[in-house]
Amino acid sequence: QGRPVKVTVTGAAGQIGYALLFRIASGHLLGPDVPVRLSLLEIPQAVKAAEGTAMELDDCAFPLLQGIDITDDVNQAFDGTSVGLLVGARPRTKGMERGDLLQANGGIFGPQGKAINDHAADDVRVLVVGNPANTNALIAQSHAPDVPAERFTAMTRLDHNRALSQLAAKLDVPVTAITRMTIWGNHSATQYPDLYNAEVNGKIAAEQVDEPWLRDTFIPTVAKRGAAIIEARGASSAASAANAALNHVHDWFNGTPEGDWTSVALPSDGSYGVPEGLISSFPAISRHGKWEIVQGLPLNAFSRDRINASVRELTEERDAVTQLGLI
C-alpha cells in the first residue's frame, strides 16, 4: 500500500457523517486500492460522539483505513488534507432569518476555508454538503486565496441522482439507460433538472415524457424530495446524501464515463451566462482530476428562464454574504 490520502470530514458525528465514514474507509470514495487516513472535525460537544463512531470504524478492521484523528481544532483537522468533505453546518431553526443563517454559516465556513488555505495539501479538493451548500462553498473559497478556486465545489449530485431515479421510474427503464442529466443552479427549491439535454437510450428525454409531467410533477418532485423524505422517515436524508458525496468525489478523482456527464456546483467561468465566480451547478465532466463544464448545450426558453431564476437566487445569496462581510 502507498501513502494514505488524508480525508477530512466535518460534522463527522452527524447522521450524514455516520452514513459516510464507513464507506470512505471501505474504498468507495477514492477506489478499492487507495489507503485513507480519516480526520474527523466536530464541535466540542460532539467530539465524544465522533470518538464513538471512530471506535466502530476500528471495529470494522478496514484494510484501507490507516488511522483516524478526531479534533475540534479546525487547523489540525485540515493539516495535510487532500479531500475535505464539509458536511457540518448550522441548520435553519424555527424563526431564524436568512441573514442569521448565513451569518452562522459564515462563522463556520470562513475559518474552515482559511484553515484549508493555510494547512491542507497542495492537491486539496473540497466538497461542501452542509446547507446552504453553494454559498457556504463560496464563503470557504473566498477565504482560501492560495487554493485554485476550482477546487471548491458544492453538492448537487443527490439532486442529479434523484432526477435519474424519477425519470427511470416514469419510463420504466433502468437508471443506466439515462445519460447526460443536468441539475442547473442552486441546491435549493429553484434548482433546474434539465430533461431537454438528458437522454434515454440515446434519445432526448423530454421527447419521451409529456410536458405537464415534466413541468408539474418531475421538477417539483426532484426539488422537494428532501422534504418528502423528512415527512416519510421522520429524519432528513442521510444515506443518499452520503452516497452522492461519494459519487461526486469518486468521479472527480477517477473521471466520468465517456459520453456522459454529471452535475457539479463549481465556480462559474461565465459559461451559459452564469456570473463568473458564483458557485452554480453545471453539467460537468471530470478529466485528469479536474472538472470541466460541458459547453455548447442548447437551452430553450423554458430552460433559460428556470436557470436564470436559480442563478438570480445565488446572486442574492452572494450579495447578502458580501453585505454581511462574510466574503
Q: Is the CB of 155 or the CB of 285 nearer to ligand NDP?
A: 155
- 237 touching ligand NDP, by CB under 6 A: yes
Annotated binding residue at 80? no
Instruction: Tell me the β-bridge partners of 204.
Output: 199
Stretch that binds ligand NDP, among 237-245, 251-259, 260-268, 306-314 (CB under 6 A): 237-245
- 38 touching ligand NDP, by CB under 6 A: no
Annotated binding residue at 235? no
Q: How far apart are CA 160 and CA 152, in angstroms?
A: 19
Of residues 187, 248, 250, 288, which has the active-site annotation?
187
Q: How far apart are CA 294 and CA 137, in angstroms?
A: 21
Annotated binding residue at 129? yes
> Quick check: 157 and 245 in contact, CB under 8 A?
yes
> Quick check: 278 and 315 in contact, CB under 8 A?
yes
- 113 touching ligand NDP, by CB under 6 A: no
> Quick check: 62 and 287 in contact, CB under 8 A?
no
Looking at 64, 65, 68, 89, which residue binds ligand NDP (CB under 6 A)?
89
Annotated binding residue at 16? yes
Q: Is 28 a known active-site residue? A: no
Residues 4-33, interacting with ligand NDP (CB under 6 A): 10-11, 13-17
Cα–Cα distance list, 16 to 35, 215, 241, 325 (Å): 22, 31, 7, 30
Which grid coordinates are listed for 29? 470514495
CB of 238 to ligand NDP, least distance (A): 5
Kindly report the number of other CB atoms within 10 A of residue 295's CB atom: 9
Q: Is the CB of 133 or the CB of 279 nearer to ligand NDP?
A: 133
CB of 270 to ligand NDP, least distance (A): 27
CB of 295 to ligand NDP, least distance (A): 28
Could you tell me where the DSSP H helices lie in the chain? 15-25, 47-60, 74-77, 98-119, 133-142, 157-171, 211-212, 219-223, 225-233, 239-254, 301-323
Residues 266-295, interacting with ligand NDP (CB under 6 A): none
Q: Report helix, strand or coil for 275.
A: coil
CB of 118 to ligand NDP, least distance (A): 16
Residue entry with cell 459516510: 20
Annotated binding residue at 296? no
- 104 touching ligand NDP, by CB under 6 A: no
Residues assigned a catalytic role: 187
Binding site for ligand NDP (CB under 6 A): 10-11, 13-17, 41-43, 46, 87-91, 108, 129-131, 133, 158, 226, 236-238, 241
